[in-house]
Amino acid sequence: MYALFKKEISNFLNSLIGIMVIVVFLLITGLFLWVFQNDFNIMTFGYANLDSLFILAPWVFLFLVPAVTMRSFAEEKRTGTIEMLFTKPLSDWQIVLGKYFAGVALVLLALLPTLIYFFSVYRLSMPVGNVDSGGIWGSYIGLFFLSASFVSIGLFCSSVTNNQILAFLLSVFLCGFLYIGFDMIYSMALFGKVDLFIQHLGISSHYASLSRGVVDTRDVLYFLSVIVLFLSMTKLVLSSRKW
């Protein structure tokens, strides 16, 4: 599995798509947080925090993560190299996890440079260090789990088709629905007492909860459940070739 992980990371970093994901993420967040005059600009916001980053980043990842994962299985199916992969001494779970951890690692590579934003806000605050560090670290944890969930969804979508574009569109739809779809249903107030339960089925409410700086085990278990669910579905799709 480790060999597959290294191969996937190498493919990401040696391809235009992998580098572009990191560059585009940092470029968009950097411009909106520090350059463009808008509601996300930290310098004009008046408070020393990174709330703007954690509001903006999920929307950027909503498109960038599917762009990373769309070729994971779809391209291998299209070119026929997936048959060679199946002949390796790897179980289906090892194949899925190898590709999954490679996708998560790429997301982490995109997130790490944003710690410069945290250091900048920390130094610019008055007095120095007057920031809600707990809330910021909680938001980073929430953003990591959110992006890790997006990667698992993207892998599943890539496993059900040999068309990268279709895998991308399906992944964007599923990630978007899980992120805001349940909130939209909740806002319609159609189901009475069940509405609150429906809201908690979505990623947004658990992400917002972690962003308060309190790492609730219920939120962590929710994200882990989403990840395990979609990875299990991906494994099931791969195993269907034996049926």
For 149-182, the DSSP string reads HHHHHHHHHHHT-S-HHHHHHHHHHHHHIIIIIH
Number of domains in the chain: 1
What is the per-residue pLDDT for 202? 92
Strongest mean pLDDT among 13-27, 119-133, 171-185, 191-205: 171-185
Least confident of 39-53, 133-147, 195-209: 39-53
Instruction: State yes or no: pLDDT of 76 exceeds 90.
Output: no
Contacts of 25 (CB under 8 A, 6+ apart): 57, 60, 61, 64, 110
Instruction: State yes or no: pLDDT of 46 exceeds 70.
Output: no
What is the per-residue pLDDT for 221? 96
What is the per-residue pLDDT for 236? 94
Q: What residue type is assigned to position 142 of the chain?
A: G
The secondary element (H helix, E strand) that includes residue 106 is helix 92-111
Q: How far apart are the C-alpha atoms of 185 and 200, rounded to whole Å?
A: 11
What is the per-residue pLDDT for 241? 67
Q: Read off the pLDDT band of 212 (50, 70, 90).
A: confident
Instruction: Round the average pLDDT of the chain to a whole number and report it.
Output: 87
Better-scored residue on pLDDT, 117 or 194: 117
What is the per-residue pLDDT for 15? 76
Better-scored residue on pLDDT, 17 or 24: 24
Helix, coil or strand: residue 24:
helix
Least confident of 22-26, 86-90, 101-105: 86-90
Q: How far apart are the C-alpha atoms of 76 and 86, rounded to whole Å?
A: 11
Segment 136-142 shows an average pLDDT of 91
- Percent composition of the chain: helix, strand, coil (DSSP 3-state, to 5): 80, 0, 20
Q: Read off the pLDDT band of 81 (50, 70, 90).
A: confident
What is the per-residue pLDDT for 174? 95
Q: Read off the pLDDT band of 116 (50, 70, 90).
A: very high
Distances (CA, A) of 243 to 52, 187, 236, 237, 240: 48, 43, 11, 10, 5
Better-scored residue on pLDDT, 37 or 153: 153
Residue 118 domain boundaries:
2-242
Q: What is the pTM of this model?
A: 0.93
Instruction: State yes or no: pLDDT of 1 exceeds 80.
Output: no
What is the per-residue pLDDT for 243? 54
Segment 6-26 shows an average pLDDT of 83
